[in-house]
Structure 1
Amino acid sequence: MSAPSTTSPKFAFPAWLNQAYLEDAIRNKYKDSSVKISKFEPSPATSVGDNYASVLFRIGIEFESDKCKQPQRTSFILKTSFQQLPNTEPIEALELYNIYQREIVLYDCIFPKFQNILKNIGCVEDLVPDTIKVDRHCDGLLFEDLKLRNYITLERRVGLDIEHTQLLLRKLAKFHAASIIFNEKERQSLEKFDYGIFNKHTRIYAPFFTSYLETCGETVSEWKGFEQLGEKLIKLKDKVMDYGEKVFEVNPNHLNVLAHGDLWKNNVMFQYDNSGKVKDVIILDFQFTCWASPAIDLHYLFRTSLIEDIQEEQLKDFVEQYHSSLSEILTALGYRGKLSTFPQFWIEFTKKSFYAVTSAFVVQPLQINEKPDEGNAFDLLGNDEQSKKFRRMIYSNPRVHRTLKKLLPIFDKQGLLD
């Protein structure tokens, strides 16, 4: 067999990503000490603008094994932190939130138990990707490549339709239900995950929310008939952190779950049958997971990831479908707590509605950016001229203008801009 090789990439990847590392991972995962890699090729697994919190690589591998008559090919996904790359400084906000170790703990110790909880009621579908290796020392997670099972990520600037949204809500309800049962069995251990994007510990993201709201307000103020709403947005920047933290506060009298915290269409992958009908979805990227109201995930999903025509028209139906699925699964799992009725849950959902404002007016404009090459993770929190130019560009998007013009009067009527 020829000596192991890798194609020299035109991008940086971790120095520890080598033949021995990958062989060890595969041998341990599949209990096969005879695995020998002949070639591996890392390449970027995401496009510019798709991910601001971590780096992902797709690793093509050629290997031999005593269990296989012919050389085999496969691929995996490696997820790691920015500071694992050569000559890259850590990003303070991400370090403070401890997002890498948080996700590692979830995949290593908690998600397998979620799957076992659901298996007790005959639910054997995957919630999350299969994990090949968990590396706490290197902030590394090696996953199965879901593309090998024909899962795909949809184009981030195209919204989800009713069918895709309903499927995702059913999967989300299963994930949330499993978290409720797990927390009940494990002495409320999930409640330690209290670092949501808004939280009582730090306001390091305040420059992001305040500066983007300000730029949003300045943009809106230039539109005839929207001047007062633009002024409200500018003033809102001084209250956004207080209101956001209120949304993320845990109410012990309401149902709480392990919320994903960043549930938008880039953090899920869909699978289709031979006729092209969507049949399954797997959820990814749990770096901002927190113990909170399920309304957190619902508001964020609805305001970042749905096609424009169904955001308002289907909103209550979607919430009712989610509530129905969650109640059904919890009942099947023998949940001993009190289940809210849908009218009660709807009141809970509406009380968290401020999160719809930041999701629609701050987060989504960034996610649907038409010019991702013109910005990077450091432009999100900066206040230099480059960062200001980046924000102005974000709010020049015609789709963002349509969203603002449609939702601003609705949110204002609900008192969310005061």
Structure 2
Amino acid sequence: MAPSTTDEKTETSNPTTDLTTSNGNSCSSKLPTWINEENFRNVLEESVPGYKKTLNFEVKETGGGGENYASMMMRVKAKVELQDGSTKDIAFMIKTVPEGELEAPMVKMMGLFPKETLMYGKYLREFEETYRSVGKEVTFGPKFYKLKNDPGVEYVLLEDISTRGFKNMNRQNGLDKEHIKSVLKIVAELHAVSAVRFVQKGDYEESFMLSPFRNETRENLEAMMKPLLKIQVDCLSKQETGSKYLPKLKPIFDKTTEKYIEFGELNLNDFNVIVHGDLWTNNIMFRHNDEGKREETILIDFQLSKFATPAVDLFYFLLSSASLDIKVSCFDEFIQYYHDNLVENLKLLNYPKKIPTLKQLRMDLMKYSFWSIAAVTGILAAVLLDPNENACMNNFFDENQEASDFQRQLFNNPRYIKHLDVLLPWMDKMGFLDD
């Protein structure tokens, strides 16, 4: 669901090159023909002072299997000539709707691209200006651009911040304590300013106030989840720790659709914020200095953002992306660190309502503990999977042999089982597995 710093699968300077893999698997794709120099002319003129003409224009699909799921991600590189005769290299990231039979309808049903366009084009810039007005500089995401000519498909176009030294960390190793805290800091800043904005200006657009998981989408959700859950239960039943906790997990799995609908429903009596919604390692980029010290953290991929309890981001991020040695042992420390930063920013922004206490936050984590199960039995398996050419959204939810084989790879992965051996006992002790 995010750009990756892994090597691109295919290199080409021709934007119409066929990228379909030779084995014809369901994750193959082609580069869209509308991504070309002519359509990018206004963006190049806007982003390059003194632009004269384009000398070279190149498009590459980026990220291998297991790095992107809800989008087709591409890197655009251009060499341009300036008015003074010098040249400049510039790069962008662009993502668009995948073409898979299951992927495209799901992405459109959930309204992912319009929502992300609002986040980059409106809210993140508004939030940054709010902080600037109280003397604090915060950058939440990359620069956002729009093509002058509408290509007739949904897309998001951003600066390529890898050219400024930003990169992803290894998703399978997980993040250490310093990087975890840097993410919790910027997430607390995002949550705080979005809560203040809600009090000042009222509801966000309906797409942020409504969960994608509701009665209207029940049928699609059930159809997608059923084959995946069947294989997951089978895999768990053959694992020592999985089989031990399956009696508690199975009833929850049997009501997965109802659980997503129930816990996705907005409760305005809670403390709510704009959550990132898909907060895992590949959707976070870091910039380090020459000595390897982290200097800046930035968030990307806001397709699943919504107005909800902070518990969504906290469970999703900490259980998917912290290294295993600190995931459980430092969980309470991380929650307190997040709360300290949340309070600091709410006070800075003169939040007019009662600021949630640490006790209240912990109570909300218990109330919404289903999101811990969703993270551990869902995104975590994808995070820990080795790079895989069959890793795409189609194969998460389809029922053919290729999809079934991929799903078993997810849940039988020794690295994932090692995490379950630590997480399931802890979750049971915390009461998160109680239905």
TM-score, structure 2 normalization: 0.87
Quick one: which of 50, 54, 64 aligns to 1:37? 54
Q: Give the Cα separation in 2 of the matches to 1:64 and 1:236.
A: 59
Higher relative contact order (CA 8 A, sep 6+): 2
More off after superposition, 205-214 vs 266-275: 205-214
In structure 2, the residue matched to 1:376 is 392
Q: 1:396 deviation in Å?
A: 1.5
Q: 1:54 deviation in Å?
A: 0.7
Q: 1:27 deviation in Å?
A: 1.6
Q: Does 1:94 align with 2:124?
A: no
Q: Give the Cα separation in 2 of the matches to 1:238 and 1:350.
A: 21
- Give structure 2 stretches of 5+ with no counterpart: 1-11, 20-29
Q: 1:109 deviation in Å?
A: 2.1
What secondary structure does 1:202 align onto? Answer: helix
Q: Give the Cα separation in 2 of the matches to 1:132 and 1:226.
A: 46
- Give structure 1 stretches of 5+ with no counterpart: none
What secondary structure does 1:242 align onto? Answer: helix
In structure 2, the residue matched to 1:109 is 122
Q: Does 1:55 align with 2:68?
A: no
The CA RMSD measured in Å over matched residues stands at 2.4
The one-character-per-residue Cα deviations of 1:89-130 (angstroms, maximum 9, x if unpaired) are 862211111111111122222221111011122222311001
Across the two proteins, how many residue pairs are aligned to each other?
409
Q: Does 1:178 align with 2:193?
A: yes
* Kept after mapping to 1: 8 A contact 2:96/2:153: yes
Q: Against the structure 1 CA distance between its residues 211 and 123, is the aligned structure 2 distance closer, same or farther, given a 3 Å change threshold? A: farther
Q: Does 1:127 align with 2:143?
A: no
Q: 1:70 deviation in Å?
A: 0.8
* Kept after mapping to 2: 8 A contact 1:213/1:361: no
What secondary structure does 2:146 align onto? Answer: strand
Q: Give the Cα separation in 1 of the matches to 2:267 and 2:37.
A: 49
What secondary structure does 1:372 align onto? Answer: coil
More off after superposition, 184-193 vs 337-346: 184-193
Matches within 5 A, 1:275-354: 275-354=291-370
Q: Against the structure 1 CA distance between its residues 331 and 315, is the aligned structure 2 distance closer, same or farther, given a 3 Å change threshold? A: same
Q: Give the Cα separation in 1 of the matches to 2:131 and 2:295.
A: 19
Q: Give the Cα separation in 2 of the matches to 1:282 and 1:103.
A: 16
Q: Give the Cα separation in 1 of the matches to 2:332 and 2:37.
A: 52
Q: Give the Cα separation in 1 of the matches to 2:329 and 2:13.
A: 51
More off after superposition, 196-205 vs 374-383: 196-205
Q: Give the Cα separation in 2 of the matches to 1:336 and 1:191.
A: 24
* Kept after mapping to 2: 8 A contact 1:213/1:236: no
Q: Does 1:143 align with 2:158?
A: yes
TM-score, structure 1 normalization: 0.90
Q: Against the structure 1 CA distance between its residues 228 and 73, is the aligned structure 2 distance closer, same or farther, given a 3 Å change threshold? A: closer
Q: 1:29 deviation in Å?
A: 4.3
Q: Does 1:156 align with 2:174?
A: no
Q: 1:138 deviation in Å?
A: 3.1
Q: Give the Cα separation in 2 of the matches to 1:401 and 1:160.
A: 19
Quick one: which of 250, 260, 273 aligns to 1:234? 250
Q: Give the Cα separation in 1 of the matches to 2:45 and 2:375.
A: 43
More off after superposition, 264-273 vs 361-370: 361-370
What secondary structure does 1:410 align onto? Answer: helix
Q: Against the structure 1 CA distance between its residues 323 and 162, is the aligned structure 2 distance closer, same or farther, given a 3 Å change threshold? A: same
Q: Give the Cα separation in 2 of the matches to 1:133 and 1:245.
A: 34
* Kept after mapping to 2: 8 A contact 1:77/1:142: yes
Quick one: which of 427, 430, 434 aligns to 1:411? 427
Q: 1:216 deviation in Å?
A: 2.8
Q: Give the Cα separation in 1 of the matches to 2:398 and 2:309.
A: 30
Q: 1:393 deviation in Å?
A: 1.6
More off after superposition, 165-174 vs 10-19: 10-19
* Kept after mapping to 2: 8 A contact 1:45/1:77: no
What secondary structure does 1:336 align onto? Answer: coil
In structure 2, the residue matched to 1:24 is 42
* Kept after mapping to 2: 8 A contact 1:218/1:230: no
* Kept after mapping to 2: 8 A contact 1:61/1:73: yes
Quick one: which of 238, 252, 258 aligns to 2:274? 258
Q: 1:296 deviation in Å?
A: 0.4
More off after superposition, 246-255 vs 162-171: 246-255
Letter in 1 for 2:32: P
The one-character-per-residue Cα deviations of 1:374-407 (angstroms, maximum 9, x if unpaired) are 3432111112333222211211111111122222
Seq. identity, %: 25
More off after superposition, 227-236 vs 93-102: 227-236
Letter in 2 for 1:332: L
Q: Against the structure 1 CA distance between its residues 208 and 277, is the aligned structure 2 distance closer, same or farther, given a 3 Å change threshold? A: farther
What secondary structure does 1:157 align onto? Answer: coil
